[in-house]
Amino acid sequence: MDGCGRIFHGLPARCAVNPELGYETEVRLLQSAAQKKKVMVIGSGPAGMEATQVLRERGHEVILVEKSDTLGGRLHDASMVSFKGLMRNYRDYMIRATQKTGATILLNTEATKELVDRYQPDAVFVATGSNYIKPPIPGIDGEHVHMLADVEHGRETVGGKVVVCGGGLSGLETAVDLARQGKDVTVIDMIPTEKFCANLFMFAYDALFMEVKKAGVKLQGGSRIVEFRENGVVVERNGQLETMTCDDVVIALGLKSENKLAKELLAADPMNTYVIGDADKVNNIRYATRTAYDAVLTMESRIL
């Protein structure tokens, strides 16, 4: 409800799935592009997939480059908790729609400036997304400390008592998922408890916290992580050090843009390089699809 929920705040409705919604009178997407371009799209998360679909609809030639062995990017992570079935539907739909576009899709291929130079595209869309933040806190590489995606994808398992570090959406979703499996889960964060997920749309916020309560997840704000130890996490709280004992710790401390290649390509050709989605700013699916769509329009307005 990140897009449609805006109407409750007196703002125009937007849509993560359909970036055209609300812009119907402004866009000219019904006619195919006047000048066909050869475009390389780097990364196949929602930004790269949306860009590929819109570019192909407009008649451009597209080479979609993805370093992993599958399309989807972080949609695989955004949909990994058991109760996000609608997100899995969206992921699968986007993958199918992208495969049907007729774009050349190169999987298992990491794009570099050399690869771009070799293909000589007219424009490059950089949709390289983001990486999980793993701060250099003592003990973070310990055996009992796990990154959220490793736990949720079943690559690593956790014991009965778990501390989740990070009171954002992904931390809370994972906490609910683990608590529903019968685990004793506490979520900690530096910010006060009442600020956890404070930017979520109100209905989504209420629904999430209802599930947090129902699942028995405990929330503890105002706790700065000092160290990870074999028996738990040491936090500083109200000026005091305390050890929260647990079997395992899950890290959900956010993401940072993967924009090294974007900077390199922008420096070489700023007019024909478009940075979209999380690579531009860590955000959400609506931002990814919106920036992808806008970038196509911007590219075409430059060539008309």
Ligand X SMILES: Cc1cc2nc3c(=O)[nH]c(=O)nc-3n(C[C@H](O)[C@H](O)[C@H](O)COP(=O)(O)OP(=O)(O)OC[C@H]3O[C@@H](n4cnc5c(N)ncnc54)[C@H](O)[C@@H]3O)c2cc1C
Q: How many residues does the chain have?
A: 304
Residue with smaller CB distance to ligand X, 211 or 232: 211
Contact by Cβ (8 Å): 213, 227: no
Burial status of residue 115 (CB atoms within 10 A of its CB: 0-12, 13-18, 19 or more)? middle
* 3 state DSSP class of 64: strand
Residue with smaller CB distance to ligand X, 66 or 300: 66
Residue with smaller CB distance to ligand X, 13 or 303: 13
Residue with smaller CB distance to ligand X, 66 or 211: 66
Shortest separation between residue 55's beta carbon and ligand X, angstroms: 14
Shortest separation between residue 233's beta carbon and ligand X, angstroms: 20
Residue with smaller CB distance to ligand X, 124 or 137: 124
Contact by Cβ (8 Å): 29, 21: no
Shortest separation between residue 13's beta carbon and ligand X, angstroms: 16
Residues that bind ligand X (CB under 6 A): 2, 16, 42-48, 65-68, 73-75, 77-78, 110-111, 127-130, 169-170, 258, 261, 277-279, 283-286, 288
Residue with smaller CB distance to ligand X, 128 or 272: 128
Shortest separation between residue 200's beta carbon and ligand X, angstroms: 10
Beta bridge partners of 275: 126
How far apart CA 26 and CA 126 sit, in angstroms, is 25
Contact by Cβ (8 Å): 212, 225: no
How far apart CA 63 and CA 299 sit, in angstroms, is 16
Tokens describing residue 157: 């398992």
Pairing mode, strands 130-132 and 255-257: antiparallel
Q: How many C-beta neighbours within 10 Å does residue 107 have?
A: 13
Contact by Cβ (8 Å): 197, 217: no
Shortest separation between residue 54's beta carbon and ligand X, angstroms: 13
Shortest separation between residue 256's beta carbon and ligand X, angstroms: 11
How far apart CA 278 and CA 274 sit, in angstroms, is 12
* 3 state DSSP class of 197: coil
Shortest separation between residue 6's beta carbon and ligand X, angstroms: 14
Shortest separation between residue 234's beta carbon and ligand X, angstroms: 26
Residue with smaller CB distance to ligand X, 150 or 247: 150
Residue with smaller CB distance to ligand X, 2 or 57: 2
Determine what percent of the chain falls in helix, strand and coil, rounding each to the nearest 5.
35, 20, 40
